[in-house]
Amino acid sequence: MGDLTGPNSGIVIPPRNGAKLVIDEYNKTNPAVKIELVEYDSQGDGSKAVALAQQAIKDDKIVGLVGPAFSGESAQVAPVLEEAKIPSISASATNTKLAENGWKFWHRVLPNDGVQGPSIADFIADGAAAKNVFVIDDKSEYGKPLADAVRAQLGTKGVQVTNDSLDPTESDFSSVVNKVAAAKPDAVFFGGYYAAGGNLLKQLRDKGVKDAKFFSGDGSLDKGLIEGAGAANAEGALVGCPCYIATPDVTDAKVKGFADAYKAAFSADPAIYAAEGYDAATVFVEAVKAGNTTPEKINEFIASANIAGVSKQIKFQANGEVEAKDIYIYQVKGGAITLLGKAAEAKLG
């Protein structure tokens, strides 16, 4: 479940593809119990997502859910699933608070913003050696906490921080851009999704803010950021992400196998959260393989799962968080997104 046709669908379609890949692979082996993948297009809208979740539970009788994709809709859908005792594994919702509700049936296969924000901030302060940073958020359930985490961590490092927020439904960010131009920062961080991120980056560069490095979080890790800003403007932009994207130069056999299969099935390289979507669906497939077909049984399996996934070792804590906590930094080079390395180790070339 997630935004499959809306403005930010670019970060939801790859995990959907990843999940589809696992389930198709599994069904091809002609198992006794086949798994059917049903898609729910919430367009990222929490109220639509709740209605779809009820439909999924009552009409389609799902046994597990990959998603919801965004944090906002997760906060609304998870209680519904909890009541119906349907396990869910999100491949992309990173809001920290989601894990604090005591939900037993909710999980995610990637670390939260509480990990992502500080790691990116460390990288801005250490890896990129920025002293004066302008932090912008989009006031969303995702963007604001992420930007706040970056602000707090930058503050402890003695970096000078200036703040502003924008409305992502607008297309003119000139008032934000004027503030950035006046503050003359050496780095800009944007907490929000790529649709607004691309426009913001373009307008910054057009206004002559050319030297400040542009940083963002996983919500902006999509080629839409480059399309929105234009390749020349996006060059060098840095995006942090708790996700692991299999770039074409990987050596690990398991990851390479996944990347090749993905490319063969969807004629595109795996993009953001594709590996996480694959892993989330893998957990469900493994649960069914082990003979669990009811939602409760599957949930018990998930709680004790310890599976080598494509993105990381999948092992859940009691609150639904995954144990592995690595954040990766990506950079736009020559109009494409390339992996720079783990946030703690990456170096700017």
Partner 1 sequence: MFNDFINQFWPATIDGLAFGSIYALIALGYTMVYGVLRLINFAHSEVFMIGTFGAMFVPFTLGIDSALTGLTLVGVIILMILAGMLASAGTAVALERIAYRPLRKRGASRLAALISAIGASIFLQEFFALIVIPNVFDRPQQGRIQMGLPRLMERTELFSIFGHTVRVDQVLVIVAALAMMVVLDRLVNRTKIGRGIRATAQNPESAVLMGVDIDKIIRMTFLIGGAMAGVAGALYLISYENTNYFIGFLFGIKAFTAAVLGGIGNLRGALVGGLVLGLVENYGAIFFGSDWKHVISFTILVLVLMFRPTGILGESLQQARA
Q: Which residues bind partner 1 (CB under 8 A)?
A: 5-7, 9-10, 43, 139, 163-167, 169-176, 178-179, 181-182, 195, 198-199, 202, 206-208, 224, 227-228, 230
Among residues 183, 181, 120, 190, the alpha carbon closest in space to that of 154 is found at 120
Please provide residue 253's backbone torsions phi and psi, each rounded to the nearest 5 degrees. -60, -40
Burial 218-236 (b: 16+ CB within 10 A, else e): bbbbbbbbbebbeeebbbe
Q: How far is the CB of 152 from partner 1 (least distance, A)?
A: 18
Q: CA–CA separation, 151 vs 161, rounded Å?
A: 7
Q: How far is the CB of 242 from partner 1 (least distance, A)?
A: 24
Number of Cβ within a 10 Å radius of residue 127: 19
Closest to partner 1 by CB, 137 or 218: 137
Contacts of residue 325, defined as CB under 8 A and 6 or more positions apart, other chains included, come to 111, 115
Closest to partner 1 by CB, 118 or 224: 224
In contact, 177 and 112? CB cutoff 8 Å = no
Q: How far is the CB of 269 from partner 1 (least distance, A)?
A: 18
Q: CA–CA separation, 143 vs 70, rounded Å?
A: 11
Residue the block writes with tokens 């990222």: 44
Q: CA–CA separation, 90 vs 267, rounded Å?
A: 24
Closest to partner 1 by CB, 27 or 178: 178
Q: How far is the CB of 252 from partner 1 (least distance, A)?
A: 31
Q: At what angle do helices 13-28 and 274-289 cross, to 10 degrees?
A: 30
Closest to partner 1 by CB, 1 or 322: 1
Closest to partner 1 by CB, 43 or 54: 43
Closest to partner 1 by CB, 207 or 263: 207
Q: How far is the CB of 292 from partner 1 (least distance, A)?
A: 34
Q: How far is the CB of 172 from partner 1 (least distance, A)?
A: 6
